[in-house]
Structure 1
Amino acid sequence: MKQKIIDHLNDIQDFRTESLEQIEAFRIKYLGSKGLLKQLFAEFKEVEPSMKKEIGQSLNELRNAATEKVNELKNSIENSESGQKLYGDLTRPGEPIALGARHPISIVKNQIIDVFSRIGFTVSEGPEIEDDWHNFTALNLPEYHPARDMQDTFFIEKDPDILLRTHTSSVQVRYMESHKPPIRTVSPGRVFRNEDISARSHCIFHQIEGLYIDTDVSFADLKQTLLYFTKEMFGKSKIRLRPSYFPFTEPSAEVDIYWGLETETDYKITKGTGWLEIMGCGMVDPNVLKNANIDPEIYTGYAFGMGIERIAMLLYQIPDIRMFYENDIRFLKQFKSVI
């Protein structure tokens, strides 16, 4: 009988399966009401008294081994099934991760910064909630100056001296206050003006403005910088500067590039002239230098500024500025392939 028990123990240890049906058949074979263990315990009555202790221990060991084997195999199958439910088929190939897309405004802003960084311009940033001094007064726009009406401003009601900046020129003032010439910086950022929202204008938009201050800076330096920018950004080598007015520059000019008249779209965006306005510029007014504690007798400089949305609309032929702010996935996905 002892040898029979040893043979059954070896069979139990060697038993392997991933079928619940086979596990149940194994349990019935050994642990069922008519199973082998039941038969062996019946035979145990006939064992000689001197062998009962040893054979009894062996039978208990056999019963425990059969019970543990059944539980082990069931747990193994349950864990495997729960893993498949949680993770699916682990042998399947992985799903590719969908690539995101940069916003077109971010793309164009980075392109502009990259162009100017090649000629030594650094990037400066400042607060969007600004005070009257940095947004207006320091830029040669004292209180009650009529030019303030050119920019419909969002004021903070609790403090009329605090407002949402109307241009990133305020960043240039802060930069001049904290840095000594030579200064060569571009200031990108979001600005706010109380304007009606339409296909061509918005109350929130983005600007990037440039500032260069050093000794012997001339309008010719400004023109060459702008010509370099238009060649790098648009591939256009023909520009013109029209006299204009900005309170913080003197003289001031509007910059046009010759876009051409090759397509129907060119006729539409240039109104049939071929020329397209892209930015404003000028020589920094001496009063602005004084307000920033820079001696205008020693230093001169130029400044320029452009709307990033306007540049993006030109580059990507986007007809409506509101599309930048609607977060339409169909629109944004078109820029996946653009770095």
Structure 2
Amino acid sequence: MSGPNKTYDPVQVTPLNADEVEAMVAAAQAAFAEATSTADLKAARLAHAGDRSPIALANREIGALPPQARKDAGARIGRARGAINAALKAREAEVVAAELERTLREERVDVTLPVALGPVGAVHPITGLMHLVEDVFVAMGWEVAEGPELEAEWLNFDALNFVPDHPARTMQDTLFVGPEGTNRVLRTHTSPVQARTMLTREPPIYVVCPGKVYRADEYDATHTPVFHQIEGLVVDRGITLAHLRGTLDHFARSMFGETRTRMRPNYFPFTEPSAEVDLLCFVCHGDSVGNPDRPCKTCRSEGWIEWGGCGVVNPRVLAACGIDPEEYSGFAFGMGVERTLMFRNNAEDMRDMVEGDVRFSRSLVGTAR
């Protein structure tokens, strides 16, 4: 068995050569200097100061040296590793400082600006839809007319040709406001605004009347005791039913896109002739009619959905409001805003519109202008 090697020349171990060690240090310092981010610097550290780096592998070679050569080689490798770690630490401080400065510059916040402390709300879909309807008719040259919600019984009924014993005057439909004998009601429709308009201005009249109305209705999925209407009134020379039909078709397309309307004969005291306006079902588009294989719950397989009422203004209404029915004629129409909103957005329960849940308003915020 041979003894330990006491004459081994450390110069013959290439990684421990002084020039080779200096080259390792220079390469590490150059790599650290080129690193511009913590990620780059991490990669450079692993390559030049990690467990598999050249300087670490050279350090392992020291054990193969004879005792008298280990001291010089160990000191040389130790100085080299110290220089590499010092360069790494210095460059790390520079890179971290540069990244912090860049972050502060890019994410700068002006702390002097006012801060919104409350949650952001949304325009209620009913309000937004009424604004949208107003825009449609203002673009046609019409005006927006408004009136009080507490109304005189004469304007709410008599001026509109409701006979004294008309069922709509009873407590079943109308909310009378005391004391008894004052003849004041919470308006059951926005038609009194039309009467006020005809009483206070001369024809031609082109107005749209949005507003809140009150009736003694049940509170369920399709009815509320307080709801909103949009009514329109035109009084001018030569106005016919054809003008009404064209206006309603334009109104329907503005609300629902490409659709069809139809008019069914009906009766209203303030118009003659009168009609109900129906929309082509937005679910089945009429395909469910006579087709038991494709029933439609929305229109009950009838193909049409009731939208509102309309007609030619009754000459008695014109006369009651001081307009000569021999010289002027007109038309009027009225639609429920809630029902229009349900058609536009496929809302199933009218109670969702009034229960104050802001999530409902935010979900239909697109209806606001």
**Residues 1:266 and 1:121: Cα distance change in structure 2 (over 3 Å):** farther
**Residues 1:146 and 1:239: Cα distance change in structure 2 (over 3 Å):** same
Secondary structure of the equivalent of 2:322? coil
* Counterpart residue number, 1:280: 309
* Counterpart residue number, 1:183: 205
* Counterpart residue number, 1:233: 255
- 1:267 counterpart = 2:323: no
Shift of 1:124: 0.4
Q: How many residues align?
A: 251
2:275 and 2:311 in contact (8 A); partners too: yes
- Which deviations, in whole Å up to 9, do the C-alpha atoms of 1:154-194 show, x marking residues without a partner? 00130341110000000100010001000000111100001
Cα separation, 1, equivalents of 2:318 and 2:114: 60
Match of 2:356 among 327, 332, 338: 327
Identity of aligned residues (%): 44
* Counterpart residue number, 1:220: 242
* Counterpart residue number, 1:307: 336
* Counterpart residue number, 1:195: 217
Cα separation, 2, equivalents of 1:299 and 1:183: 10
Matches within 5 A, 1:1-339: 98-146=119-167, 148=169, 152-160=173-181, 161-262=183-284, 267-336=296-365, 338-339=368-369
Shift of 1:232: 1.5
- Relative to the length of structure 2, the TM-score reads 0.63
**Residues 1:174 and 1:93: Cα distance change in structure 2 (over 3 Å):** closer
Q: Structure 1 unaligned runs (5+)?
A: 1-88
1:236 and 1:257 in contact (8 A); partners too: no
Cα separation, 2, equivalents of 1:94 and 1:299: 58
Question: 2:154 is aligned with what amino acid?
Answer: W
RMSD: 2.6
Cα separation, 2, equivalents of 1:163 and 1:154: 6
Question: 1:272 is aligned with what amino acid?
Answer: S
Q: Structure 2 unaligned runs (5+)?
A: 1-108, 289-293
- Which deviations, in whole Å up to 9, do the C-alpha atoms of 1:259-286 show, x marking residues without a partner? 3444999922212222111110000000
**Residues 1:270 and 1:171: Cα distance change in structure 2 (over 3 Å):** same
- Which deviations, in whole Å up to 9, do the C-alpha atoms of 1:266-316 show, x marking residues without a partner? 922212222111110000000000000000000000000000011011111
Cα separation, 1, equivalents of 2:258 and 2:238: 28
1:151 and 1:166 in contact (8 A); partners too: no
* Counterpart residue number, 2:52: none
Question: 1:280 is aligned with what amino acid?
Answer: G
Cα separation, 2, equivalents of 1:151 and 1:298: 38
User: Highest Rg: 1 or 2?
Assistant: 2
